[in-house]
Amino acid sequence: MIKELIKLYKDRRELTLLEITYFALSVVSFAIAGILALFNQALGISVLIVPLVAFVAGLMNIVAWAVVRLTIEGLINRDKNPASKTSTKDKK
C-alpha cells in the first residue's frame, strides 16, 4: 500500500492522496472515538467531531476540485472550438 501511495505522489496525483488521507483520518479517528467511548462515554462522543470534520472537509474538497476541473476544461474546450472565435462579420 505504501508503494502505491508513493507512486501516486510521483505521478502528481495530489487530489487522490488528499482523498485517501481524509478517508484514513476519518476511519482511524472514528475507531479511536469508539475505543474511548468504552471507557468514558462523554469523551468518546466529543472525539467523534474529528471524523465528522474530516469527512465533511474531504467531501468539500472533492466538490471544489470538481468545479475547478470542469471550469478549466470548459475554458480549454471553448478556446479549441473555432466556431466560438468566429464573429458575424466573418460569416458574411
Task: State the average pLDDT over residues 7-35.
Answer: 82
* Any domain includes 88: no
Residue 88 pLDDT level (bands cut at 50, 70, 90): low
Q: Which residues contact 23 (CB under 8 A, 6 or more apart)?
A: 58
Domain of 49 in residue numbering reads as: 14-80
pLDDT at 10: 74
**Would 90 be classed as within a structural domain?**
no
Answer yes or no: is 37 within a domain.
yes
How many structural domains compose the chain? 1
In a domain, 30, yes or no: yes
Which has more confidence, 88 or 20? 20
Q: What is the DSSP track for 5-56?
A: HHHHHHTT-HHHHHHHHHHHHHHHHHHHHHHHHHH-HHHHHHHTHHHHHHHH
Going by pLDDT thresholds of 50, 70 and 90, the confidence category of residue 36 is very high
For the residues 7-17, what does the mean pLDDT come to?
74
pLDDT in tens, 60-77: 888 888 888 888 888 888
